Structure formats: C-alpha cells, structure tokens
Structure 1
Amino acid sequence: MTDPQMGKRAPLQFGLDLDYRDPSSVGNVKNIWEKNRHHHLTILALAYALTGNKQYAEAVEEQLLSWVEQNPFPIGVNWTSSLEFGVRLISWVWIERLLRGTSSHKHLFGEGGALWSMIYWHQWLITQHYSHGSSANNHLIGEMAGLFIAASVWPVFPESAQWQSLARKILEREVSQQTFPCGLNREQAFSYQIFALEFFLLAGLEAEWLKAPFSDNYQDWVRRMLEVIPLVVDVGGNLPQYGDGDDGMALQLRPLGSSRLHWLFRLGRQWLNAHVPLPSNNSGVLAATVIGSNAEDKVGEVKPVQGSIGFNDPGLFVLASRRGESDEVLCLADAGLLGYLSIAAHGHADALSFTLNVGGVPIIVDPGTYVYHADPQKRAYFRSTKAHNTVVVDGVDQSEPAGTFLWTRQAQAKVLSWQETPDGGVLVAEHDGYTRLPNQVIHRRRLALEGKRLEIIDELLSVAPGLNQGGVHDFQWRLHFSPLCQVTLKENFCQVSWQGGSLGIYLDNQLEWILAHGEQEAGWYSRGFNLKEATYTLSGSARTTTPMSLKNYLDLSDED
C-alpha cells in the first residue's frame, strides 16, 4: 500500500509490529487507511442497487478481490488498527446487502466466497486488540459498532454470539461514559461528536431489525447526542470546529457534497422521535431511505433555537443575538476541559478561545487540525494555544504536549459566571494553565455579546497578588480569520470584510499589533483533514508585568 502524498510504500510485515505512526516508514497513514475503509465501494454498490447496472457490482468485486490478494492476513498496514477493522466491516455489511442477487455477491459473499476469511479475522482481531485504558475513546466505539453489526448480520461463526454480546455490553457502557449529560461528546472535538453518533445510531438500528433493541437508556443517550446538535449550529448550517477533526465517517451512502447531518436527523426522528429539524428539499433522504428504520416520522415541526445557551458540563457556551435570522451573530466560547481521559488525545490547547459566525458565515475561526502523524511541526502548531483565539503567555501552550495524541499537565478552566441576555450573553471564566510558569499567571476572560457588539476583556493576574509585581511576561493576544475575509490593520483598528458583511475591531493600545499571513506559526486555516490554506491572523504583543488588563471589542455596526 502506497501513500500517494508522500510516495511511501508501507512495508509488508506483520501488521501489529508495524509502526504506522512513523511517516518515514509508511507515509501519511491516513491517506492509506481512508481508501481502505472502502467508503468508495459502498457508493459503487449503491449505484448498482439504484440502477441495476452490473458494471458497478463488477467494479466492487474486482477491487475487493484485489484487496484480499494484496492484504493477506495479518501482513501490512491494513492489519494494524482495530478501528479500521470496525469501519471496514460496516462497509462490507452494506456492500453485501446492496449487491444481493448478483454474481459478484456470490463470488464475494456466497458459499466459499472470497471475503469470509477476512470477515472472520477482522472480528477476531477486534476482540483481541480493542482499545482500552487511556485510548478508549472514539476508537473503542467504532471497533465495537463494527463488531456488533458484523456479528449480528453474519452470525455464521462459532464465536458470533459471544462477539455480539461483548460489543453490545461495551456500546451500552460507552454511550454514557463518552457523552456529557447535555449530549456533547467528552473528547472536546466536535468532529468526533458526529463520528461517534454515526456508530451508535447504526448499531442501534441493527439491533432494532434483530428485534433485540438496545436499552431505553442507550436510546436516550443517542437522542441527546442528536438533539444537542441544532443548539450549536449556526443559521447557515455550519458545524462548530473545535478540537481535532479528521473527517472520519462510519458509513458513506450520501451524495457528494451533501449534509453530514441530514441523514442522521431523518433516522433519528424516525427511530428515536428525536426533536431535530426535518431537513428541507429532500436532503438526507437517499441515505436515510437506504438504511431505513421502517418507522414513521411522528415528530412534527420542531421549534427553532432561541437565544444563547450554556452547556456547563463540557464548558461550551453559545452567545447569540438574532438567533435563526439572516443577520444572526453567534459566538461559541470554550471554558471546559482539554479533552477525554488522562491523555486528552483529541483536545486542543484552546481554553477561553472563541469563534464568531455572522449571518451563517464563519468569520473568526478555529484554524482546524490539518494533520496528525505526517507533519509533526504542523501538528504541534494547529493544536497549540497560538493557533486559537485566546492569550498566549511566554510563547508556550496552556497545556503541556508530550506527543501527537498526548498532553501531560492540562490547563483547568473554571466558569466564574454565565448569563443569558435578551440580545446576547456574558461569560466570565479563567484557566490555570500558566500557573506552571515562574511568577504564576491566571488568565481570566470576560466575553460579552450585546446585539452587534462583542466585548473581550482579558486579565492576566498573579496567583499571589500583593507580593510586589507578578513578574515580567510576554503576552500575545490572537485572532484567526476565515479565508473568506479580507483584513486590514491601521494602528489600533482592524477592518474585516467578507461578501455581504463587515466588522471593525477596536484594539487595546497597550499591545503592538501586526497581521500575519501564511507564516510559520500564524496565518493558516484547515477546512478539512490534509488541507491547509493561508489566511490572516491578528496578533497583539507586549512584554510587561502582571497584573495586566486588556480590552478589545468587535463592532458589526461598522461599515466599509
């Protein structure tokens, strides 16, 4: 298997001994794994099911037979990750369903079919090497969903009932363990909210068809995961971006460019009576119809989201004015934990950061993820404090990184007050990430949205005030803009414009302000995994003593 981006061919050696994290050996392993999840083959199988054109079925057969030949058990990079086994099993289940009645189905899944040995070993390896301990995050969910679905659909092996029971037990446990009571995912990475939800929903539907449903408690947690999503999505349907995101999917049966949410909303309404909006213009109908819950949608019209809302358990707060209107202002602020479990694998050092969407357009953004193993320097930047809309002290991260998916000392954020107001909201919070520095520093931030004005007050405080000065520190205040924006800076005023709107930022004159664009540690945005583009970062710097107070505000009333 060759990574086309880096030109590296992964060695054919015992898979579990292969270090897939080493780009010098395997290249960018995500490039290899994504194609080997066989999402493209579920689309080809769906094309056959919709058209009856056997060329699509034959293309699936040809590629799967080639895959079996090139990936002998247990050799190579496709035998290294239990999550990949789980996702691939789900793809194969749907390929098998969609190709029924064809000679290709007989060759692949009939008696003596080419895939049965692979299907067995995928399930067996999951049971032997599923994620545990500090790594039992979304990977464990995907592994168990794949195992449950495969063992349920194909109960043909002596261990099938045992495998199904194990997977059901773990999924029942993890749905609450990895989800906050409000419904948001504990990894503090919204991309994994959707990824985990897909697995839980697909496994739950399989159990319904077996007439052996998951518990009411399981279904309630999945419903919560669905119903929280509209509360954090802007009027344009843009999903929040915070923490890691690698665009992973549990199953691909959607048209190119279609909504990631709408098929989930349709299935959630039908299966769980989830109170989520019914998508318009038949969006999501194809995947929802193919998967099908065989239940009538009785939910009816769901009232639109109104105003600001706070989620105390994950520490996420939505400050909004004109919610749901064409001129909506939506600020999403983070005052929560770094991430899930002891290593917080998919969290970013983004305490007290925020994003701002105006009229359904992202303006002030979280720069995203871009990459995992393939570029350690860029991996470090994109999850750093410098890459977020907050304050950097002495050039270091709020939390201490110790590896690609590992944080050691983690900043603890604390909400001091939260108030929803008729035209916005006020959040006051602080974090202790910089108390590890000499002359310990607390960062406290007040975000106040009132209509078209967002005020940001930052205080850099000494832990032990009154004992002379708190010491000299380098402070840096950062904002990152969407590539959709044109940004200019003149002295202490920053003008931001985009198609259909503009805002002005009035900047504290205690700092020296600059605009960066495409530099080493500023001016980058990633709209999806493996993608990056230059954009503007506004940065204000000062070397001074604590305590220090900064006041900046954004005004959407300003015109070009």
Structure 2
Amino acid sequence: MFNKIKQVQKLIQQFGPGWLLRRARYTARMRSGFLTWQMPAYEWDDRPLETWLKPSIPAEADTYFGWRQVNAPKFLFDVLPHFENADDSAVIAEANALLEGEYIYFSSETIKGIFPPDWHWNPLDNSHLPHDKHWSLIPDFGGQDIKYVWEPSRFGMVYTLVRAYARTQNALYAESFWMLVLDWIEKNPPQRGPNWKCGQETSIRLMAWCFGLYAFWDTPQTTAVRVSQLVQAIAAEAERVEQNLGYARSTRSNHGISEAVGLWTVGILFPELTQADHWRELGEHELLKETSFQFLPDGTYSMHSLNYQRMALQAVMWAMRLGEVNNAPLPQWLYARVTSAVDFISQMIEPETGQTPNHGSNDGSLILPLSECDYSDFRPVVQLGHFLCHGRRLLDAGPWDEALLWFGYHGADKAAGLVRRDGAFAEGGYYTQHGEISWAFIHAPVYSERPQHSDQLHVDLWWRGQNIAIDAGTYRYNAPDPWNNALATTAVHNTVMVDGQEHMPRASRFTWLDWAQCEDIHREHDSDGNWSLWQGAHTGYHRHEYRVDHQRSVLQLVQDIWVVIDRMQASAQHDYRLHWLLNDFPYEISENAITLNTPQGSYRLHVGAIDTDVNMSTIRADVDEINGWQSRYYGQKSPAISVAMTCSGKNMTLWSVFAAGDTVVRAHDNNLTIRTESREYQVDLAQSHPIPTINKQVS
C-alpha cells in the first residue's frame, strides 16, 4: 500500500494533478459501465444516412450520389497518377496476394487468412475477440496483443489496392476495396467489438476509406448505394472519435494528433453532414493544440520515438494538404514546425538506405504507405515534407517520390540536396557527430514529457552505411514474459547499468518514474577537423542511497575511429555493466575485443577499464532472455550481438573503441594508444575533457 501511495505521489509530481484526475475519471467511466450509456451500441438501420445529413441534402442513394458528384470537396489528388512501365511493380504482386487472403502485418509479416479478413481474429493464438460486446468491456491487454486484431482494420490494404489500380486499371482492385469496406461495416456494428475501441485506430481507418473513395470514384464498382453506406459509416466513426476525445487528450500522445486529423478530414470532405462544421472546427483546434506541444521548435518530438514522429508527421501533412486544396489553409507556424521536424528527421537518416536509429517505441505504424520503399526507409516522409513546406524536393529522384504524386505534386525540379552536419537538437535531447564515412547518434534528453525507453546516453554508431551499434527496438507491447515490452529497458541499450537497476523505476508497461535527466552537455571540436567531442551526464542513479554519477564522452577521430569513455563516480562500491548491442554480422572474439566482418569490411570494438580487470561476455539470440535480439519491425525479432563488460568498484573509467579491423588499440595506466598505418592517437583517459594527441608521422 505504501508503495502504491508513493507511486501516485510521483505520478502527480511528473504529470500534474489534472492529468492524474483525467485518467482516474476515464478509468472510473470505463469500469462503471458509464461509457456503454454515453456511447450506446446500435444497429446501422437505426441511424440511416438521412439522419446524419443536413436537411438540404438529398438522402436517397441516387440523388445523394449525384449531389456528391457535383459538390464533393477536393482531395489530395485530382486524378490518379500515371506510372510508366509499372507492370513489374511489387505493389501489384502485393495486391494480388491480398485478394488470396495474404495480409501484411506491420509492413513486414505476411499472415495467411481469408478474404475479406476475419476482423476479430488474432493470428498469434488463433483466438477471437468478442464482436458483440460493447468496446469498453473488452480489455486493452487481456491475453494476446490486441494490435494483431486491429492491424487489418486500419485498412492499410486500401493504399495497396489504389496504387495497383493506378498502374493497371484492373477493376478487380476497385471491387475488392468495396468488398472489404462493406464486409467490415457488416461485421462491426456501431460501438461493438474491438475495432471500435480506439479513436486513433478509427481515425487511421477513416483516412484510408477516404483515400479509396476518391481513388475509385469514377469506377463502375462505386455505386450510389455503396457510397451511401460508406458515408453513413464515416459519420458514425467521426462521432465515435469525438465522443471519447478526452481520452486522446489525456494521453498527451500521437492519439491526439491522429484523432484531430480524423475529425478535420471528415469535416472538410463531407460538408453535407450535420456535424461537419463542428468536426472541422474541433479537429483544427485539437490539431493545432496537440501539434504545438508535441512537435518541439527544434524539430524533435515529445514522445521520443522516431517512428511515432513519422506517424504524427504523416497525419499532419495529410491535414495540411487537405486544407490547401480546399481553401482552408492551416496557419504558417504549423508549416514552420513541420519544416523543423523534416530537417530533424533528415539528419537522422542514413543517406544510402533511408534508415534511422531504431529509437524509442516502434509499433509498426506506417499510416501512408505510398511508395515501394521499405518500412524502415524514412526518405518518403522527408521528401514529402520538404516539398509540402518548400515547394521543391530535398533528395534526388527515387522511389520515395511516389508520395508526392499522391499528394498532387508534379514537376521534376532540382533537389535542394541534403547536407548532413553535427547536430544539436537539445530540446528533444538528440545529438549527432560525423566522421568521413561514419556517424553517431546520441540520446541525452531533459524530459518534459514521459519517456518511452530507459536509455539515457545511448549511442548508435553507423559506418559505411551500416548500423554497427544498434538500438534493439520494441518487438511487442504485450507478450508473455520476458517479452512484455522488454526492449524498452536499460539493459538492452548502449549505455551503462549500475547494480542491475534501470535508469528510471518502471511503474507500468508505458510509464517510468523519477525521470533520469541529462545534464552538463559539452561539445567542442578541432579547428582542423581532426576530432570532435561530445560529453554529457545523467541523474538516473542519483536516487540511490549511494549516489552514482555517470558521465559519457564520445570522441570522434579522423579515420572513422570512435572512443567512448564512461566515468562512474561513487562513494561506495557498485557493480557496473557497460553494454553494446551490435548488428548481426559474422564475428570473431579476441581478448576484450570483437571483430565484425561486415559486407563493407571488418570493424572492431575494443573495451576495457582503467586499473581494473573486466569481464567481457557475448550473447547472440539468447533462447531464454532478451539479450542478443533486435526488432526493426513490430512483432518480428532477429538476432543481434550483445556485448557486456562488467566490473566492480567505486570510481571507474570504462572505455570503448570502434575502429577498422586493422587498427591497434593499447591501454596502459590512464593512457589509450590507437595506432593506424598513418597515425597514432594518444588519449589521456584521466582528463575531464579527453583531447587527443595526434602523431601523423607513423612509419
């Protein structure tokens, strides 16, 4: 009981009493059954289309269809894009597989089902969630991961069908869209079943339905009766989003943005609905409010997740473009925020692949899959965002340009060109350093919103386009132990752990207490470009009875050598564990070193400590534990190489060196000597600011 009271006190301190009161009120409404009264279940026939329309709008199917034919607002595109020589496009094969009941979950895993899908089926355990219960009576995390039930109902397959149709004009794709939508409507009566449970899921579905409606409007498969059924369902779903919008607000998350965009979309595209003006105004108000605090001025995102940021950014760009084409532009400050966000993400991508560090929560969301680029490729969102804000490409032409066409943009302008730089995005706590063919990503935040992962001072390292030192990702939010959102923990990140304790105590699946804050950031570089230094510390272990201070220095040397120095200061003895998660390349182990034999050459990690012996262990794909795994796609895990160096003491200095495989590293007393064919570097590990001495006259 005491611990519960203390936990509530900490929640109030971090989130404020208002937030806690709103969450408590929502929980009470849920458990009391109040939501079943506020949002009662009903049948579609109880509220036909005419009950949703303004009095001046004809409700009979044929006349309503004619009204939409003349008066429908503009969409992202006026006509479908034209694609030359597109017969071999992968999207056609994907669309054909879809018609055979093969569905792609989270942009990665193909699961065989039926067509149309069983909307309440969980393929993880072949179970079904109840389709006849009020959604509020179905638990979020009871049993298996509900995201596997929700994924088909996001209707990401609509974008596949539309993109395939644009390339082939095959009417089967249009018919399949309508079969899917009408089957969903039949099997998911209002306010019943798991697919009415989440306003964010509903809003993502609304966007997809609108995309399909406009894309297939001129096909024979789009009939008056079908359109009436779809618009009736769209109105019901918009009402559902508004009725529970308070929950989205209370999460202070991308739920607020996506649900605002859902309301804005329906309000803009269906002005004939009685509530359209209200939904449009409410959607705009909520969108601007949520965006103003979620997208920070330096371009970073309050949820500390690159994938969450991409999802929110795609939703915001959708809303901005709909406003533009319908003479309802959103304010310029929003364009400025999106410009900053696009700049930030552009600095996070590896130019050769478009990949970013697998940082923060990664739930598999890609709500606008409008290109043939891989899920992990962020170039489509960067290209689209830059064009939306500046009217020109940032990157040279490539498959990531397809989204521009779907947003109604044309023209072969010259790309502005991506210039990568050593970046400091201090509001979000992100820093980058660059070598000639390598770069580092450092996470060192001062939290003002809840953390996603316990990963202070985590470092990602990239070399020759390859992610060498990696972030493990997420895998699953709800799974049997030990996989219950376990990759959010300190132990799997590239940082130091003290006495087996997290940087922050965990209160629940998504909530951390006593937020570890970064401090004492210091950056400097050599005017000749021979080295650059980043330093920072964090407060995560200040809460201990015997406080521990952790300072990390990241020293970049020419020839793509990286030295990471961790200083641990304490008044009592502690157990220290320095961890590096390396990508799954063939490897060889030698004394306190591991060599990765990558496709681009060998790259080696050396580890050690001053004045003490260390134990180095290596684990790949541990059968019983979470060590030695990574997850770049939600629900999918693959091997990685977990390297841990452990030692005990009070004041300890731990060091790591990443360098090409033929580099020689020697440690003696406080000095680290790094030798290549052309240079020798001396680093005094005892210095508070370890500036290297460089000798270029090596024979």
Same fold (TM over 0.5): yes
SS of residue matched to 2:460: strand
SS of residue matched to 1:378: coil
Q: Which residue of 2 aligns with 1:556?
A: 660
2:131 corresponds to 1:17 = no
Rg comparison, structure with higher value: 2
Question: How has the CA–CA distance of structure 1 residues 259 and 240 changed in structure 2, closer, same or farther, with 3 Å as cutoff?
Answer: closer
Question: How has the CA–CA distance of structure 1 residues 50 and 503 changed in structure 2, closer, same or farther, with 3 Å as cutoff?
Answer: closer
Structure-2 separation of matches of 1:425 and 1:196: 33
SS of residue matched to 1:433: coil
Give the CA deviation at 1:37.
Answer: 0.5
Q: Which residue of 2 aligns with 1:124?
A: 239
Structure-2 separation of matches of 1:203 and 1:69: 29
**Counterpart among 482, 490, 493 of residue 593 in structure 2:** 493
Question: How has the CA–CA distance of structure 1 residues 318 and 389 changed in structure 2, closer, same or farther, with 3 Å as cutoff?
Answer: same
Q: Which residue of 2 aligns with 1:179?
A: 295
Question: How has the CA–CA distance of structure 1 residues 329 and 129 changed in structure 2, closer, same or farther, with 3 Å as cutoff?
Answer: same
**Counterpart among 597, 605, 617 of residue 514 in structure 1:** 617
Q: Which residue of 1 aligns with 2:579?
A: 478
> Residue by residue, what CA displacement relative to the aligned partner does 1:227-282 show, whole Å, maximum 9, x if unpaired?
2222222232222221111121222332363774444344334432167623323x
Give the CA deviation at 1:423.
Answer: 4.7
Give the CA deviation at 1:428.
Answer: 1.0
Maintained 8 Å contact 1:512/1:541: yes
Structure-2 separation of matches of 1:222 and 1:490: 48
Q: Which residue of 2 aligns with 1:88?
A: 205
Q: Which residue of 2 aligns with 1:429?
A: 536
Give the CA deviation at 1:482.
Answer: 0.8
SS of residue matched to 1:418: strand
Q: Which residue of 1 aligns with 2:642?
A: 537
Root mean square deviation, CA, Å: 2.2
Structure-2 separation of matches of 1:274 and 1:286: 15
Q: Which residue of 2 aligns with 1:466?
A: none
Maintained 8 Å contact 2:373/2:400: no
SS of residue matched to 1:125: helix
2:544 corresponds to 1:459 = no
Structure-1 separation of matches of 2:386 and 2:608: 48
Give the CA deviation at 1:167.
Answer: 0.8
Give the CA deviation at 1:536.
Answer: 1.0
Maintained 8 Å contact 2:349/2:378: no
Structure-1 separation of matches of 2:155 and 2:525: 46
Structure-1 separation of matches of 2:662 and 2:587: 14
TM-score normalised to structure 1 length: 0.90
> Residue by residue, what CA displacement relative to the aligned partner does 1:400-454 show, whole Å, maximum 9, x if unpaired?
1111111122111114311245255211111111122231112111111112211
Q: Which residue of 2 aligns with 1:334?
A: 443
Question: How has the CA–CA distance of structure 1 residues 415 and 192 changed in structure 2, closer, same or farther, with 3 Å as cutoff?
Answer: farther
2:482 corresponds to 1:363 = no
**Counterpart among 385, 394, 404 of residue 277 in structure 1:** 394
Structure-2 separation of matches of 1:320 and 1:224: 20
Letter paired with 2:240: L
2:602 corresponds to 1:502 = yes
> Residue by residue, what CA displacement relative to the aligned partner does 1:34-68 show, whole Å, maximum 9, x if unpaired?
11111102321333344332211111111211111
Question: How has the CA–CA distance of structure 1 residues 495 and 262 changed in structure 2, closer, same or farther, with 3 Å as cutoff?
Answer: closer
Give the CA deviation at 1:164.
Answer: 0.5
Identity %: 23
Q: Identify the range of structure 1 (387-396 vs 54-63) with the bigger mean alpha-carbon deviation.
A: 54-63
2:253 corresponds to 1:137 = yes
**Counterpart among 282, 292, 306 of residue 166 in structure 1:** 282
Structure-2 separation of matches of 1:242 and 1:98: 35
Letter paired with 1:155: P
Letter paired with 2:176: A
2:416 corresponds to 1:302 = yes
Structure-1 separation of matches of 2:648 and 2:387: 58
Q: Identify the range of structure 1 (31-40 vs 130-139) with the bigger mean alpha-carbon deviation.
A: 130-139
Structure-1 separation of matches of 2:154 and 2:198: 11
> Residue by residue, what CA displacement relative to the aligned partner does 1:502-539 show, whole Å, maximum 9, x if unpaired?
22222215321111112213111112110101221111
Maintained 8 Å contact 2:588/2:595: yes
Query: What are the ranges of 5 or more consecutive residues in structure 2 without an aligned counterpart?
Result: 1-119, 665-699
> Residue by residue, what CA displacement relative to the aligned partner does 1:469-527 show, whole Å, maximum 9, x if unpaired?
x22211111000112x2233222222222112222222215321111112213111112
Maintained 8 Å contact 1:518/1:524: yes
**Counterpart among 171, 195, 213 of residue 311 in structure 2:** 195
Give the CA deviation at 1:547.
Answer: 1.7
Give the CA deviation at 1:133.
Answer: 5.0
Q: Which residue of 1 aligns with 2:548?
A: 441
Maintained 8 Å contact 2:371/2:401: no
Maintained 8 Å contact 1:349/1:385: yes
Q: Identify the range of structure 1 (192-201 vs 175-184) with the bigger mean alpha-carbon deviation.
A: 175-184
Structure-1 separation of matches of 2:194 and 2:340: 36
Give the CA deviation at 1:306.
Answer: 4.3
Maintained 8 Å contact 1:90/1:251: no
Letter paired with 2:140: Y
Question: How has the CA–CA distance of structure 1 residues 423 and 94 changed in structure 2, closer, same or farther, with 3 Å as cutoff?
Answer: farther
Letter paired with 2:286: I
Structure-1 separation of matches of 2:543 and 2:165: 60
Q: Which residue of 2 aligns with 1:211?
A: 327
Structure-2 separation of matches of 1:380 and 1:306: 33
Letter paired with 2:435: S
The number of residues matched between the two structures is: 534
Maintained 8 Å contact 2:345/2:382: no
Q: Which residue of 2 aligns with 1:267?
A: 384
Structure-1 separation of matches of 2:531 and 2:171: 57
Give the CA deviation at 1:134.
Answer: 4.6
Maintained 8 Å contact 1:254/1:286: yes
Question: How has the CA–CA distance of structure 1 residues 142 and 375 changed in structure 2, closer, same or farther, with 3 Å as cutoff?
Answer: farther
